[in-house]
C-alpha cells in the first residue's frame, strides 16, 4: 500500500494522476427481486475477515467492467493485456459506437481514459500478486437480459453500442452503481487503511464516478427536453427509469428516477440522492453484487449477468 501512503503525503494529486460490467432468457429471469425504491441504505457493518485489499479488489472488479465498456464504446478495443492481469478472463461483446459527433467522441474518450486510469491506479496500489486479474465479462447477453427484465420494449435486441442514445442507457446502468458502491464501501475501510490513504483515494475515485454519472443523467434528460421541444419522441428517458426501477428492485432501492422539469418548483431530477439531505446513496457490497449478477433476494449467488463466472477476489458471493 506504499502508493497510498505517498498519495496522502502529496495531497495535491489531481484526478488525472489517478492513472497513471448466461443466455438472455436465463439472465432475464434472474433480474428479479424486491426492494424499496429510494430507501436509504442500511448501516454497513464491517464483515469479519474482510481486509482493505479485499475491498480494493472488489472495486477493481467494477472498474474492469466500466473500463471495458467505455474503451470498447470509444475505441472498439478494451484493456491491454498488461492492464487486465495474468490469466485475465475474456470479454464478450462491445464495439465502437458509430456516427458520433466530435463532442460525443470526446466525452467517450474522456470517460474511457478515466476508467482505464482507475484500473491502473488500483492495480498499482494493490501490487502483485494481490491485485486480481480481470474476470470474464459479458456485454452480449447481459444487456438484452437486463432490458427485457426491466420491461423495455424490444429489450431482447437492446445493444448499448448501437448508437449514442443506446450508449447513454448502457452508461446509466453502470455509473449510479459505481457511485453507490464507493460510498457504501467507505465505512468498510480500516483505521490503518484510512491512515494509509485508502479512504482519500476512494473518495477521489468516487468523485470522478459522480462526474460521469452526472454527465450521463444530464445528457439523457437534456436530449429528452430537446426532443419534447421539437415534438419528437425520445423513449430513452423512460428506458433509463425502467432500468432504475429494476436496479432498485434487486439492489435495495437507492434510486432517483429522471424526470423533465415542469416548473421552477419541480426541477428535473439529475442528482441521485436522498430527498431530505441531498446525500448520495450508498449500497453494500452485497447489494452491488445483486445488481451486477442480476439477482434479487437470493443467498449464495456467485455469478451471473455481467460477470458470467463471478468476480475475482474474496467479495464475490451474495449473502442475502
Cell numbers placing 232 = 419528437
Mean pLDDT of 132-138: 98
Asked if residue 176 has a cis previous peptide bond (ω within 30° of 0), the answer is no
Residue 1: the pLDDT is 54
Is the torsion defined by CA of 34, 254, 61, 286 positive or negative? negative
Q: pLDDT value at position 196?
A: 93
Reported as a single tens digit per residue, the pLDDT across 35-72 is 333 333 333 334 557 899 999 999 999 999 999 999 99
**What Å distances lie between residue 303 and 118, 193, 221, 231, 245, CA to CA?**
23, 29, 33, 43, 22
The residues, any chain, with a CB within 8 Å of residue 234's CB and separated by 6 or more, are 165, 223, 224, 226, 227, 228
Q: Closest by alpha carbon to 4, among 153, 190, 174, 163?
A: 190
Contact assessment for residue 109 and residue 116, using Cβ atoms and an 8 Å cutoff: no
Q: Where are the beta strands (DSSP E) in the chain?
A: 91-92, 137-138
Q: 9: pLDDT confidence band, cut at 50, 70 and 90?
A: very low
Residue 253 pLDDT exceeds 50: yes
Predicted local distance difference test score (pLDDT) of residue 266: 67
6 SS3 class: helix
27 pLDDT above the threshold of 80? no
- Cα–Cα distance for residue pair 143/147, rounded to 1 Å: 6
The whole-angstrom separation of Cα 78 and Cα 66 is 10
- Please state, for a pLDDT cut of 90, what percent of the chain lies above it: 71
Rounded Cα gap, residues 19 and 179, in angstroms: 19
Residue 167 is predicted with a pLDDT of 98
pLDDT in tens, 199-246: 999 999 999 999 999 999 999 999 999 998 999 999 999 999 999 999
Partners of residue 304 on adjacent β-strands: 307
What is the 8-class DSSP label of residue 195?
A: H
Distance between start and end Cα atoms, the chain: 31
Q: What is the DSSP letter of 77?
A: -
DSSP letter at 44 equals P
Our measurement of the distance from residue 6's CA atom to the centroid of its chain's CA atoms, rounded to an integer in Å, reads 27
Residue 60 CA to residue 100 CA, distance in Å, equals: 29
For the chain, the structural domain boundaries read: 2-10+24-293
State the Cα angle at 197 between 194 and 201, rounded to 5°: 115
pLDDT at res. 311: 98
Provide the CB-side half-sphere exposure for 99 (13 A, CA).
Answer: 7
Amino acid at each position: 500500500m506504499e502508493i497510498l501512503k505517498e498519495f496522502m503525503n502529496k495531497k495535491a494529486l489531481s484526478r488525472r494522476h489517478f492513472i497513471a460490467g448466461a443466455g438472455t432468457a436465463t439472465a432475464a429471469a434472474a433480474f428479479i427481486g424486491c426492494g424499496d425504491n429510494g430507501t436509504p441504505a442500511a448501516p454497513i457493518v464491517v464483515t469479519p475477515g474482510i481486509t482493505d485489499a479485499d475491498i480494493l479488489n472488489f472495486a477493481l472488479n467494477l472498474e474492469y467492467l466500466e473500463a471495458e465498456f467505455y474503451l470498447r464504446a470509444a475505441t472498439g478495443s478494451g484493456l491491454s493485456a498488461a492492464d487486465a492481469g495474468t490469466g485475465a478472463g475474456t470479454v464478450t461483446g462491445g464495439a465502437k459506437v458509430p456516427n458520433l459527433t466530435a463532442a460525443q467522441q470526446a466525452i467517450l474518450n474522456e470517460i474511457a481514459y478515466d476508467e482505464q486510469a482507475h484500473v491502473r491506479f488500483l492495480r498499482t496500489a494493490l501490487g502483485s500478486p494481490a491485485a486480481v486479474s480481470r474476470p470474464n465479462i459479458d456485454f452480449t447477453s447481459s444487456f438484452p437480459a437486463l432490458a427485457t427484465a426491466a420491461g423495455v420494449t424490444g429489450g431482447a435486441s437492446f445493444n448499448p453500442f448501437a448508437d449514442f442514445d443506446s450508449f447513454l442507457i448502457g452508461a446509466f446502468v453502470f455509473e449510479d452503481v459505481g457511485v453507490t458502491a464507493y460510498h457504501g464501501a467507505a465505512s468498510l475501510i480500516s483505521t490503518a487503511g484510512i491512515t494509509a490513504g485508502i479512504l482519500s483515494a476512494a473518495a477521489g475515485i468516487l468523485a470522478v464516478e459522480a462526474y460521469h454519472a452526472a454527465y450521463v443523467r444530464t445528457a439523457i434528460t437534456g436530449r429528452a427536453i430537446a426532443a419534447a421541444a421539437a415534438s419528437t419522441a425520445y423513449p430513452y428517458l423512460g428506458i433509463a427509469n425502467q432500468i432504475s426501477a429494476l436496479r432498485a428492485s434487486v439492489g435495495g432501492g437507492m434510486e432517483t428516477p429522471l424526470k423533465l422539469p415542469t416548473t421552477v418548483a419541480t426541477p428535473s431530477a439529475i442528482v441521485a440522492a436522498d430527498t431530505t439531505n441531498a446525500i448520495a446513496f450508498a449500497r453494500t457490497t452485497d447489494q452491488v453484487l445483486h445488481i451486477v449478477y442480476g439477482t434479487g433476494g437470493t443467498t449464495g449467488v456467485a455469478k451471473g449477468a455481467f460477470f458470467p463466472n463471478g468476480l475475482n477476489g474474496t467479495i464475490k458471493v451474495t449473502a442475502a
